[in-house]
Amino acid sequence: MTTIGKTIRIYLADGTPGGIRHAELMNWSGQAMVCPRSRFEELSSWPESQRPGVYVLVGEDEAGGVIYVGEAENVLTRLQSHLKNKEFWTRVVFFTSKDENLTKAHVKYLESRLIELATAAARSRVENGNSPQRSALPRADRDAMEEFLGPIATLLGALGFVFLQPIPAASPGAAANGGAARLFFKPTKRVVDAQGAWVNDEFVVFAGSIGDLETRHHLKGGYLQLKDALLADKSIEKVDAKTFRFTRDVLFSSPSAAAAVLAGGRVQRSGGVERH
């Protein structure tokens, strides 16, 4: 089957990529906007922000990316409340419709699906406590929203947001013969036996890696939240009183972040990772 290209238009409101951006995909009724938190006041002059839509707050902590997915009948009004009650985010990306055909039920469905997709991709910690139940849409509307999701994912990637993209497939053998650099993590004082690799400029810890279940007092903040989240979604599971095992490949922001989770605390010596 012939691959069909896509045309994206991105408008830089002040001529720089660091300001507000408006993006469209050719022959799609939706539109995307990206706004830095520091430029939030400028959004009030954009009617595109004052419609029903779905949005993602994007930030980082010491363990990596953090996102929060929401929906609103008026995106701008809802985002104003998040300036006060959510501190982590530095950017927001949101999607509304150019023809104003998105309803409250539609955006609630999109919110639920984006949370599902972001959780499955496991690239960023999803701040939402639970995935909201999908709206009970008629079959035609549900299918239309599933079609709407495709361009959303495309535009997110084009705008530099990777939280919906699957973790690159890799295995310990992929590092051989010129593949990704293979890394080993075996600190002598902790119950850890793990392997990972740089894959496409990202660090992946492989399924089957063993970590120390004990959490030391200096594992705090984002690393502790990340470890708890991995246990909660069963990405890592308890093996015995001292160890846990990775049940799938897991992406980390850096080898040091992986080392902290594996060892139950910060690792001082080169992140506890050795390159071979």
- Classified as helix, coil or strand, 245 is strand
The verdict on residue 86 lying in a domain is yes
> Chain-centre distance of CA 153, in angstroms?
12
Confidence of residue 177 (pLDDT cuts 50, 70, 90): very low
Q: Are residues 245 and 132 in the same domain?
A: no
Task: Please write the tens of the pLDDT for every residue from 23-64.
Answer: 999 999 999 999 999 999 999 999 999 999 999 999 987 667
Q: Are residues 244 and 151 in the same domain?
A: no
Enclosing domain of residue 266: 172-275
Task: Retrieve residue 222's tokens.
Answer: 């984002």
User: Quick check: 168 pLDDT over 80?
Assistant: no
Identify the pLDDT of residue 273. Answer: 45
- 15, 152, 178, 238, 248 from 244: Cα distances, Å: 49, 36, 31, 4, 12
Task: Please write the tens of the pLDDT for every residue from 57-86.
Answer: 999 876 678 999 999 999 999 999 999 999
The verdict on residue 166 lying in a domain is no
The verdict on residue 2 lying in a domain is no
Q: Are residues 114 and 137 in the same domain?
A: yes
Task: Please write the tens of the pLDDT for every residue from 178-215.
Answer: 444 455 665 556 678 888 888 777 788 888 999 998 88
H/E segment holding residue 57:
strand 53-61
Q: Are residues 27 and 128 in the same domain?
A: yes
Last residue of some domain: 115, 131, 158? 158
The verdict on residue 68 lying in a domain is yes
Q: How many domains does the chain have?
A: 2
Q: Are residues 201 and 145 in the same domain?
A: no
Q: Are residues 33 and 151 in the same domain?
A: yes
For the chain, the average pLDDT equals 85
The verdict on residue 34 lying in a domain is yes
Percent of the chain beyond pLDDT 70? 86
Confidence of residue 176 (pLDDT cuts 50, 70, 90): very low
Q: Are residues 25 and 129 in the same domain?
A: yes
Q: Are residues 26 and 81 in the same domain?
A: yes
Q: Are residues 190 and 262 in the same domain?
A: yes
Q: Are residues 75 and 13 in the same domain?
A: yes
